């Protein structure tokens, strides 16, 4: 009986594709000016679509243009202006997303470029998802202990009288910087958020006022109705409100100040704010080219950008992973030689789907006995339509091959070969 095992020796993948990553969730550094990491580019496969997202995480940076190449072959030119996907004239964004469909390939090449801009006056982008718990405090209305993108212990205040929130209970929520855009419905008077930022940056406690006085002043300016003053001193509340109205118009926190971050719970609960320290940024306004730089990515012949490859998930690639694992672990002797006896044993364990694929990839239709004891080896040359069949003796042959199929010393990468 004719025995075959297709050994997938993909030198082409190892040396030409560079960084090969899974599309489940891939995060690549976004680097500006060749050296400064300002964020990342994430690549995620969702069904038959590839979602590519630029994320700027370094304060002061934003993007004005994004260019993206996604294809079944490497980008032929370095010039990002010729890439097939682009978003131009962006309004200094920190997040930008592309959705790519109709890929029709298991391996895609990705090159992600952006025009990045730095300014000390850029809005602080602290929007994201967090988990938090409220604790008692004497320096604010309560403390907010946060895990997630801005993990820490922060002074916190209420901004919504109409809805309750409870100490000691764990919540999830979405954060919004009051220096950027946020849903106006989160507070009754969003136009007064500059006054709230002014209030939380003043030392009213040092002037003998209480946290209840400060909280009542915040409610007075931000909410449609104020609750019963409780233990708050009405004279102190009036003084804080008057100070904010006189001096807080258009107040913008800077280095050394705190900025109000709104937290909207995902369940029915009160919207709150925390005091978040404003990062101290240094430098002058500048524009930089930015590229997503993967470890061992392939550099373009000109410029400093590079591209990387992503292996998409599919039934075929799952089978390929199984095939290569079985081959490399079961069919070689201790010194790395291929053992024909082990090959014959292993082939009986290959399931029908793998055997059918192996049969379809075999260009030799001769069923004569002269092929018994041979192993068909598919390697990089097979991708151009040329199959190389090597006779391996029962004494074994080192399983290392050049691209033309000839034996060599070294190590080959075992992966799926496409006909």
What tens digit of pLDDT does each residue of 402-412 get?
A: 555 555 444 44
What pairs with residue 376 in β-bridges?
A: 389
CATH number, residue 75: 2.60.40
**Average pLDDT, stretch 3-31?**
48
Better pLDDT: 260 or 387: 260
Report how far apart the first and last C-alpha atoms of the chain are (Å, whole number). 25
Question: Where residue 339 falls among pLDDT bands split at 50, 70, 90?
Answer: very low
Are residues 69 and 101 both part of a single domain? yes
Interhelix angle for 193-200 vs 234-247, to 10°? 110
Would the pLDDT of 356 be above 50?
Answer: no
Mark whether 155 and 258 lie in a shared domain.
yes
Same domain, 79 and 113: yes
Which of 162-171, 202-211, 294-303, 369-378 tops mean pLDDT?
202-211
Which pLDDT score is estimated for 314? 65
Tell me the H-state helices in 223-339.
234-247, 315-330
One domain for residues 298 and 318:
no
Non-local CB neighbours of 142 within 8 Å, separated by 6+ positions: 134, 135, 136, 156, 167
Residue-wise pLDDT tens digits, 368-390: 333 333 344 444 443 334 444 44
**Residue 258 predicted with pLDDT over 70:** yes
Instruction: Check residue 39 and report its DSSP letter.
Output: E
* 239 pLDDT more than 90: yes
Residue 13, phi then psi, degrees to nearest 5: -65, -45
| 21 has pLDDT over 70 | no
Assess whether pLDDT exceeds 70 at residue 247.
yes
Residue 307 has pLDDT above 60, yes or no: yes
| Whole-prediction pTM | 0.48
Q: Which residue did the predictor score with more confidence, 76 or 151?
A: 151
Q: Hey, is 369 helix, strand or coil?
A: helix
Band of residue 124 on the pLDDT scale cut at 50, 70, 90: low
Looking at the fold, whether 78 and 2 belong to one and the same domain comes out as no
Q: Which ranges constitute the DSSP H helices of 188-314?
A: 193-200, 211-222, 234-247
Residue 367 has pLDDT above 90, yes or no: no
Q: Is 411 exposed, middle or buried (0-12, 13-18, 19+ CB in 10 A)?
A: exposed
Residues 49 and 114 in one domain: yes
In 373-418, DSSP assigns E strands to: 375-379, 388-390
Average of pLDDT values for 214-230? 88
Residues 161 and 175 in one domain: yes
Statement: residue 313 has pLDDT above 90: no
Cα–Cα distances (Å) from 288 to 37, 69, 211, 380, in that order, read: 12, 19, 45, 39
- The predicted pLDDT at position 353 comes to 37
pLDDT at 85 over 50: yes
Confidence of residue 249 (pLDDT cuts 50, 70, 90): very high
Residue 303 binned pLDDT confidence (cut-offs 50, 70, 90): confident
Which residue, among 233, 222, 162, has the nearest Cα to 197 in the 3D structure?
222
**Residue 136 · residue 286 · CB < 8 Å:** no
Q: Are residues 224 and 194 in the same domain?
A: yes
- Are 200 and 293 in the same domain? no
Do 157 and 258 belong to one domain?
yes
Cβ–Cβ < 8 Å for 175, 261: yes
Ranking 26-30, 82-86, 147-151 by mean pLDDT, the lowest is 147-151
Lowest average pLDDT, out of 211-225, 319-333, 374-388, goes to 319-333
Look at residues 192, 354, 177, 341 and name the one whose alpha carbon lies nearest to residue 262.
177
Whole-number pLDDT of residue 240: 97
Q: How many domains does the chain have?
A: 3
Q: Are residues 136 and 36 in the same domain?
A: no
Same domain, 204 and 334: no
> What pLDDT is stored for residue 199 in this prediction?
97
Domain span at residue 31 reads 24-120+283-311
> Which range, 6-10, 24-28, 159-163, 202-206, has the best average confidence (pLDDT)?
202-206
């Amino acid at each position: 009986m004719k025995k075959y095992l297709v050994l997938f020796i993909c030198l082409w993948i190892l040396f030409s594709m560079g960084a090969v990553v899974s599309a489940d969730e891939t995060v690549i550094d976004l680097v500006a000016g060749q050296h400064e990491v300002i964020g990342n580019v994430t690549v995620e496969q969702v069904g038959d679509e590839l979602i590519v997202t630029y994320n700027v995480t370094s304060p002061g940076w934003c993007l004005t243009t994004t260019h993206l190449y996604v294809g079944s072959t490497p980008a032929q030119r370095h010039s990002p202006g010729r890439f097939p996907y682009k978003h131009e004239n962006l309004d200094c964004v920190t997040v930008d997303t592309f959705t790519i469909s109709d890929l029709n390939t298991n391996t895609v090449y990705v090159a992600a470029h952006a025009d990045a801009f730095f300014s000390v006056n850029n809005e602080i982008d602290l929007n994201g998802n967090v988990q938090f718990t409220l604790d008692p405090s004497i320096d604010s209305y309560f403390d907010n202990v946060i895990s997630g993108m801005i993990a820490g212990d922060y002074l916190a205040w209420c901004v919504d009288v109409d809805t309750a929130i409870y100490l000691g209970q764990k919540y999830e929520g979405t954060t919004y910087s009051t220096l950027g855009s946020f849903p106006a419905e989160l507070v009754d008077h969003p136009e007064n958020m500059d006054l709230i930022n002014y209030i939380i940056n003043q030392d009213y406690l040092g002037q003998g006022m209480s946290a209840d006085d400060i909280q009542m002043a915040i409610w007075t300016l931000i909410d449609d109705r104020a609750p019963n003053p409780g233990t708050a001193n009405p004279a102190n509340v009036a003084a804080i409100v008057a100070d904010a109205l006189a001096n807080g118009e258009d107040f913008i926190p800077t280095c050394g100040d705190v900025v109000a971050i709104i937290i909207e719970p995902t369940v029915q609960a009160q919207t709150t704010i925390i005091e978040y320290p404003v990062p101290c940024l240094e430098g002058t306004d500048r524009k930089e080219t930015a590229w997503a730089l993967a470890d061992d990515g392939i550099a373009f012949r000109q410029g400093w950008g590079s591209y990387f490859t992503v292996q998409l998930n599919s039934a075929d690639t799952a089978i390929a992973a199984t095939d290569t694992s079985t081959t490399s672990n079961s069919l070689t002797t201790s010194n790395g030689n291929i053992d024909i006896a082990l090959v014959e044993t292993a082939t009986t364990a290959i399931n029908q789907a793998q055997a059918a694929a192996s049969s379809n990839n075999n260009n030799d239709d001769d069923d004569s006995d002269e092929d018994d004891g041979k192993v068909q080896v598919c390697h990089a040359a097979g991708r151009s339509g040329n199959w190389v069949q090597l006779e391996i003796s029962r004494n074994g042959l080192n399983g290392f091959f050049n691209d033309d199929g000839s034996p060599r010393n070294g190590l080959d990468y075992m992966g799926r070969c496409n006909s």
